[in-house]
């Protein structure tokens, strides 16, 4: 699934992680918490660099619900339930009066580590280069199948050094079981 702008020599491809085999091998299971992983691949075949600093990458569902990519803080809130926020009590033999707890810090570190390993490493796409990374979309309140008749819209990709924005990219999505449609 991709959108190629021949005049700009830029292609944006998308690989939604709507099945287990299409998801990244992350430390945490974001999908089971209502966060759809989507790999976004930007290929710049032009002679000028691009920046994604201002880019808006939204999932647009069939009913025109616009879902922005989740921030790390939003992912952290979703992944940190009450049990994780208060920690897990580690049973210890008596007479230690206060149990040791573990929890939230481990989740924060795992989210950060996953972002470092699977997120965008740079927002600059050099000439004749490709960058890719996973973004996560909160699909908790969206009726399945989420990807049926959905699009990923990428706006405000900027060409350097001119600062001109490219036209929006719209990648038609479909569930993995409808490949080739």
Give me the residue label for tokens 């996973």.
134
- Pairing, β 50-51 against β 158-159: antiparallel
Calpha distance 96→176 (Å, rounded): 53
Q: What does the pLDDT look like over 82-104, one tens digit per residue?
A: 344 444 555 555 555 544 444 56
Are 43 and 140 spatial neighbours (Cβ–Cβ below 8 Å)? Answer: no
Name the packing angle between helices 72-79 and 104-118 (round to 10°). Answer: 140
pTM: 0.84
Q: Which helix (H) or strand (E) holds 75?
A: helix 72-79
Q: Which domains does the chain have, with CATH numbers?
A: 2-74+120-178 (2.60.40)
DSSP state of 142: S
Q: What does the pLDDT look like over 93-135, one tens digit per residue?
A: 555 554 444 456 688 899 999 999 999 999 999 999 999 999 9
């Amino acid at each position: 699934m991709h959108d190629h702008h021949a005049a700009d020599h830029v292609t944006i491809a998308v690989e939604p992680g709507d099945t287990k085999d299409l998801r990244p091998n992350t430390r945490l299971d974001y999908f089971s918490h209502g966060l759809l992983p989507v790999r976004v691949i930007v290929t710049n075949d032009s002679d000028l660099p691009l920046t994604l600093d201002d880019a808006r990458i939204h999932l647009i569902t069939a009913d025109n619900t616009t879902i922005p990519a989740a921030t790390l803080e939003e992912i952290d809130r979703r992944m940190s339930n009450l049990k994780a926020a208060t920690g897990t009590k580690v049973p210890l033999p008596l007479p230690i009066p206060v149990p040791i707890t573990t929890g939230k810090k481990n989740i924060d570190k795992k989210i950060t580590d996953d972002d470092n390993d699977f997120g965008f490493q740079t927002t600059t796409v050099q000439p004749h280069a490709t960058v890719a990374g996973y973004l996560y979309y909160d699909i908790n309140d969206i009726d399945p199948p989420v990807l049926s008749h959905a699009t990923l819209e990428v706006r405000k990709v900027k060409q350097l050094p001119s600062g001109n924005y490219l036209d929006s990219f719209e990648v038609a999505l479909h569930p993995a079981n409808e490949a080739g449609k």
